[in-house]
Every structure is written in C-alpha cells, then in structure tokens.
Structure 1
Amino acid sequence: MKLLRYGDSGAEKWGVLDAEGQIRILDDALVHVTGDELSPEWLAHLVKLDPQTLPLLKTKPRIGPAVPRPLNFVGVGLNYADHAAETGGKIPKEPILFLKSLSSFSGPYDDIVIPPGSTKTDWEVELGVVIGTKASHVSEEAALDYVAGYCVVNDVSERSYQKERGGQWDKGKGCDTFGPVGPYLVTKDEVPDPQALALWTEIDGLRRQDGTTANMIFGVKTLVAYVSQFFTLHPGDIIATGTPAGVGMGIKPEPVFLRPGQEVRMGVQGLGEQRAKTVGG
C-alpha cells in the first residue's frame, strides 16, 4: 500500500494511492481503524481496505511529507563505499549518525531553499526507513518487525556548513527545507528486500546518481538495531540510510553544487519520485 499526506503544511491528511495512481480519501475509513498511527495493528486494518471503494480526491492539493512530523529524523553518513571514496572518507567501522533538524522536514515537491550566501548546497538521494513500533535496544534479527515502511529522502547538505564550520555535520544537514520526504510511505509488505532497490538523482535532466541499496555498508536491519541502542525510536521516526556516489562535491575535476532555478528529481525503486525546484533564500 502507498500511503501519502496531502494538504497545506501542518494540516495534512492521510490518503492512499489507488491502482490508477489516483488519491483516495482516508478520513472516514480511519474512524474505524484502531491502534496508533503506523503501528502494525493500524497498518493491518488499512491494508484490508479496497482503495477503489474510498472517495476519490478530485482536487490537486499539495503533497506533503509522507509521514507526520517525526520525533527523530536520523541520518547515516558514508554508508556506501563508492560515496565514501568520492568524498575521500574512510569506510566507517560503525555507522556514522547525525540528526537532521525538524525544520528541515518538507514535502517531496516543495521548493528547496538554498540558504543566503550558500555556495555548496548538495543533493543526496536516500532510502528512508519509517519506524512503526517503539524500538529500544532491539536485535538485528527482530529489527524489521519495528519498521512500518519505506520512503524517498533527499538529505540535502550544505557542504561548507558541514565541513568548514566547526566539525559538526548537523549545521550543514538541518537547514530549512533540507529534508524532503516522500511522496509515499510504502508499507513494508510491498518491499520484500530493502537491500535490492535502485535509487537515482537527476539535476536539470542530467543523471547524477545511479546506485543500488545492495551496496550499503550497513543494511537496514543493522541500522535500525544500531540506532535503537542509543535512543528510542518512535512511530513515524525516519532513518535516512545514506547515499550512493554521484553527489555534487564528488564530481571531477570540479565539484558542482545547486543554484537557484534548478530542478531536482530523484527516486527509489517502487517508492515514487521527488521533484523540486531550488530557490534562493
């Protein structure tokens, strides 16, 4: 099932995509659905619904982030060997974690705002893992039991803020609009193997990233279990699992970064695609 959120920022409602790619309204159906949002019980009720029997959304609203604002928006750094190589980084012995500010959380078609004075704003397509059950100190064997589904994440990054402004990644990863999520939350029953998904990015129609989640250094099971050792993951939390090679700072002979007026398109196999314009802040 492909779930989505539509409406003005902060006032989004749940919808579901039908077989024809149309949005169906879930308002009335959710009244009869028990369990907390994104919990296994909640999802089990939803997957029994026939989208064709639900009211059709006849307007064309804004598509918001694929889940409500999370408590934790977790990023994983240097999780593809080819990306580590292009940036000159070493293969990490343990996952590198950082937190994206919740002010970065935005929709898949919302504008990406390049901060005033920024010269090194970059793109990163990533597989997002959405938590469905509260997770603390879970094992790798049980890790996927805590996952509700998957989505596309763009871990937009300002490289000078990230690397040249005091050594903390967060300030380069958490600027407003730097975390587009969606368009869909695809329930995990439709993604039998999260380590076998193609993912890609195009900037103004030019293919820049073309990778596969098979090349992750630390896979989804490992990441969910690992993150849960340090802080509790809550339903709706997102883990952005790292990006493959092809980011702007890795382009030779000279890095290429985003500027206002460009189109950023990216997608993950089976999870839909994002399409955003860049604007000056």
Structure 2
Amino acid sequence: MKLATVKIKGEEIAVVISDDKMISIQTINEKANKNWSTDLFSILQNDELAELTHWYQEEGESSLAKFPYIPEHEATYAPLYRNPGKIWGVGMNYMEKALELSGKPPEEEPVIFMKPDTSLIGSGESILLPPQSSQVTTEAEFAIVIGKTCKNVKEEDALGVVAGFTTTLDTTAKDIHAKNPRYLQRSKSFDTFFSFGPHFITVDEFSDLKDLEVETVLNGEVHHRNVIANMMYQPEWIVSFFSHIMTLHPGDVIMTGTPGSVVIREGDVVACQIRGFKSLQNPAAIKN
C-alpha cells in the first residue's frame, strides 16, 4: 500500500495512492465505516497501519476505485509528518562513498548522526543555503520508517518492526564538516536540510529490497546510482543495530546511506529517485 501526506485547504492529511488517485483516510472512514486516524503519524503511533493494510489487501484496493478522490491540482505534497521522534542517518554505507570521503574502507560499525525535526521539509519545498556555508551538498537516501516500539531486535526479525520505506534527501554544509570531523552534527542540522517523502510504501509491498536502485539526481541528470545490495550494512542489520543502542518508536526514521552527493547552488533542483516511489524533488535557494 502506498500512502502520502498532502496539503489541501491548509490542512495536511493522509491519503492512500491507488491508480495514481489520492483517496483521503477520512473518505475511507466514511465510505468503509472505519475510524482510522486521518494523519500518517497518528496511524503509526496508534498501531493502526496493520489493520489498514489488511483492509486494503482484502477489499480496499478494489473498493477505492469507487470512492471520491482528491484531484491532483487541488493538493500539494507535504512531508509524511512533521515531528518524528528520531531522525537518524547512516554515513558511508556504500564502499564507493566510503572511499570517496575517507580514502579507506569503512570501519566495522557505521558512522551515525541525527537530524533535528526543524531540518524537515517536504517535496517541492526549498533547501535554504545558509550564509555560514559556501559549499552545500545533498544526497539521495532510502529511508526506513519504524512501525513498532522495539528494543534489541534480531536482524532476522527486523522487518517485523518496520512500517515501510520512503525517499529522503540529506543535506550537509560540507565545508563546515571539512574543518573538523567533530562538526558533523552541526553541518547536518541547518533548517531545511532533511527532505522527507512524498510516498510511503508499506513493508509488505517488497519481496526483496536488494534490487532497489537509489539515484541522486541534479537538474534532471543522474549523478550517482547504486543498488541496496551494495550497501555494507543492509536495512535489516541497521534496524537491529540501532535497536541495540536505543528504544525505537513508531514514526522514527533511519536513512540508510547514499550512493553519492552533489554540490547544490541557488536555482538547482536536486532529487531522490527510487523505482516505485514518486521522485522527491527540492529546489535550492539562498536563505535571507
């Protein structure tokens, strides 16, 4: 099942995407006599996704064709939600990227970092280039969305606590990080430096993640491309790794690393493209 959050008449609401049509959860509640939350974060927090997915698989997919839908011109995509409890990133998860950044193979355990929720934007919103930095880079990443509160999860059980996946763009003030590796967190934390969405696809839709190809695109040109099979730390391992450090909660987001970054300047449009997901695109603008 594919979901998104759209803004319509000033309100951000969850929709199911079916045959390229947007059907709001509110409409589904009315037509199917359900009482699900009408925003995606609450659906995750209230443990409603499994029931919604079951309904979709058993009868909903065919029923949605008869339900009123939101015309695309009346809605704009928003972030999937605004306030995830945790936004984590994994650095240098592809061998090529690790060699590019450090000149040597990666360590036995991954580099990790956090993003504040104030860095969060949705597709179409501007990445604001801060005056403190003269070199800003952005990179496409496949991201995991946690679906259950969990701790110390075994790798083989990891997908059981995952709600689904989405596309993300991770932006960095590269020159700030280059001054001192200890400045990594600062370089990642500026407002608008984390783009999130627009599509969320539930975990049951994927028989094998390894063949998914992640692309970093600048102004319509693919600059970096790689498949998840080439990640040094696979998504299941990543979930297990984080869960052994901290308790994970529904709605937590974990970016899994990038095939490569691009320098962005005012007027550029950067995108994350992964097959099956709507392209996540953001223009770059100067912060006033």
How has the CA–CA distance of structure 1 residues 259 and 9 changed in structure 2, closer, same or farther, with 3 Å as cutoff? Answer: farther
- RMSD over aligned CA atoms reads 2.1
Which structure 1 segments of 5+ residues have no match? 249-256
Task: Give the counterpart letter for 1:71 in structure 2.
Answer: G
Which structure 2 segments of 5+ residues have no match? none
User: Is residue 58 of structure 2 the alignment partner of residue 44 of structure 1?
Assistant: no
Task: Give the counterpart letter for 2:98 in structure 1.
Answer: A
- Find the counterpart in structure 2 of residue 194 from structure 1: 209
User: Is residue 232 of structure 2 the alignment partner of residue 212 of structure 1?
Assistant: no
The alpha carbon displacement at 1:156 in A equals 1.1
CA offsets, 1:253-275, max 9 Å, x none? xxxx2111111122112222112
- Find the counterpart in structure 1 of residue 23 from structure 2: 24
Alpha-carbon separation, structure 2, partners of 1:114 and 1:30: 42
Alpha-carbon separation, structure 2, partners of 1:124 and 1:10: 30
Task: Give the counterpart letter for 1:268 in structure 2.
Answer: I
More off after superposition, 176-185 vs 115-124: 115-124
How has the CA–CA distance of structure 1 residues 222 and 86 changed in structure 2, closer, same or farther, with 3 Å as cutoff? Answer: same
- Find the counterpart in structure 1 of residue 266 from structure 2: 260
CA offsets, 1:3-49, max 9 Å, x none? 00011799411001111x12112214247246962333343345442
SS of equivalent to 1:145: helix
Identity %: 28
- Find the counterpart in structure 2 of residue 142 from structure 1: 157
Written as runs of structure 1 = structure 2, the 5 A alignment for 1:153-192 is 153-164=168-179, 167-192=182-207
The alpha carbon displacement at 1:108 in A equals 1.8
Written as runs of structure 1 = structure 2, the 5 A alignment for 1:103-142 is 103-142=118-157
> Quick one: which of 32, 48, 57 aligns to 2:70?
57
Alpha-carbon separation, structure 1, partners of 2:146 and 2:67: 26
TM score, norm. by length of structure 1: 0.89
SS of equivalent to 2:77: coil
Q: Once superposed, which parts of structure 1, at least 4 consecutive aligned residues long, lie more than 6 Å away? A: none
User: Is residue 99 of structure 2 the alignment partner of residue 85 of structure 1?
Assistant: yes
How has the CA–CA distance of structure 1 residues 265 and 14 changed in structure 2, closer, same or farther, with 3 Å as cutoff? Answer: same
Q: Kindly indicate whether the alpha-carbon contact (under 8 Å) linking 2:216 and 2:259 is maintained by their aligned counterparts in 1.
A: no
How has the CA–CA distance of structure 1 residues 166 and 195 changed in structure 2, closer, same or farther, with 3 Å as cutoff? Answer: closer
- Find the counterpart in structure 1 of residue 259 from structure 2: 244
- Find the counterpart in structure 2 of residue 74 from structure 1: 88
- Find the counterpart in structure 1 of residue 3 from structure 2: 3
Q: Kindly indicate whether the alpha-carbon contact (under 8 Å) linking 2:169 and 2:271 is maintained by their aligned counterparts in 1.
A: no
More helix by share: 2
Task: Give the counterpart letter for 2:273 in structure 1.
Answer: G
Task: Give the counterpart letter for 1:43 in structure 2.
Answer: T
